[in-house]
Amino acid sequence: MRVLGVDPGLTRCGIGVVDGVAGRPLRMLGVGVIRTPADSPVAERLVLIEQGMEQWLDEHRPEYVAVERVFSQHNVRTVMGTAQASAVAMLCAARRGLPVALHTPSEVKAAVTGSGRADKAQVGAMVTRLLRLAAPPKPADAADALALAICHIWRAPATNRLQQAVAAHRAPPVRVPRGTA
């Protein structure tokens, strides 16, 4: 599966594309950052993020998009911008019909490092090792976007089993008695 991870932000929106399946070596297809000028009006910055997202989606044709779930316990001003940037990322993916998954920062850290409280350096080091890179991707937003994509690939089997269980619970399979068909 090919996943495009997004670490949303107005000033720097991290993007990372990873290909692979759980339990097999992963491959990085691309990493980068969409930047917008801090002194531009928010509306124009959102247009730049949309244009950047479209380029990444066109170039890498991911099957899934994983976006960091935004919480509001952080700095109030930053969170609003992060929520707005994440909205544009989700919009670009969903209107192409791509499934959008949201993962919390601690889910991502736990998936990649084994600890939900890992720091940026640990996440960067594990991303570097898992993708067999020569050096940690910079800036941190780019490494976080790769971590999101890896998290999604590794969680997908569990998520799929959960969704199947929920679906099975909602609509039990119709059993056709033997010999009637």
Q: Where in the sequence numbering do the catalytic residues fall?
A: 7, 68, 141
80 or 133: whose CB is closer to a copy of itself?
80
Contact flag: residue 72 with a copy of itself (CB under 8 A): yes
Enter the tokens of residue 137.
């991707």
Q: In this chain, which of 1, 2, 35, 80 binds a copy of itself, going by CB under 8 A? A: 80
Q: Which is nearer to a copy of itself, 48 or 133 (CB)?
A: 48
Q: What letter represents residue 110's amino acid?
A: A
When asked if residue 177 is in the footprint of a copy of itself (CB under 8 A), the reply is: no
Q: Find the distance separating the first CA and the last CA of the chain, reported in whole Å.
A: 37
Residue 87 or 133: the one with the smaller Cβ distance to a copy of itself is 87
Q: Which residue has the tokens 């959102």?
A: 46
**Does 91 participate in binding a copy of itself (rule CB under 8 A)?**
yes
Q: How far is CA 74 from CA 82, 116, 146, in A?
A: 11, 17, 22
- Among the listed residues 50, 122, 133, 156, the single contact to a copy of itself using CB under 8 A: 50
Q: Does 83 bind a copy of itself (CB under 8 A)?
A: yes
Task: Please give the Cα distance from 145 to 158 (Å, whole number).
Answer: 21
Burial class (CB in 10 A: 0-12, 13-18, 19+), 104: middle
**Ligand-binding site membership of 44 (annotated):** no
Reported in sequence order, the residue ranges of 12-79 that DSSP labels E, i.e. its strands, are 12-19, 27-35, 64-68
Q: Among 21, 22, 42, 162, which residue interacts with a copy of itself (rule: CB under 8 A)?
A: 42
Contacts of 148 (CB under 8 A, 6+ apart): 5, 6, 7, 16, 66, 67, 68, 103, 108
Task: Give the integer Cα–Cα distance in Å for 20 and 40.
Answer: 38
Task: Check binding of 44 to a copy of itself (CB under 8 A).
Answer: yes
- What x-and-dash track marks residues 94-123 binding a copy of itself by CB under 8 A? xx----x-x---------------------
**Which residues of this protein are in contact with a copy of itself, per CB under 8 A?**
41-44, 46-47, 50, 70, 72, 76, 79-80, 83-88, 90-91, 93-95, 100, 102
Q: Residues comprising the binding site?
A: 7, 68, 141
* Residues annotated in a binding site for Mg(2+): 7, 68, 141
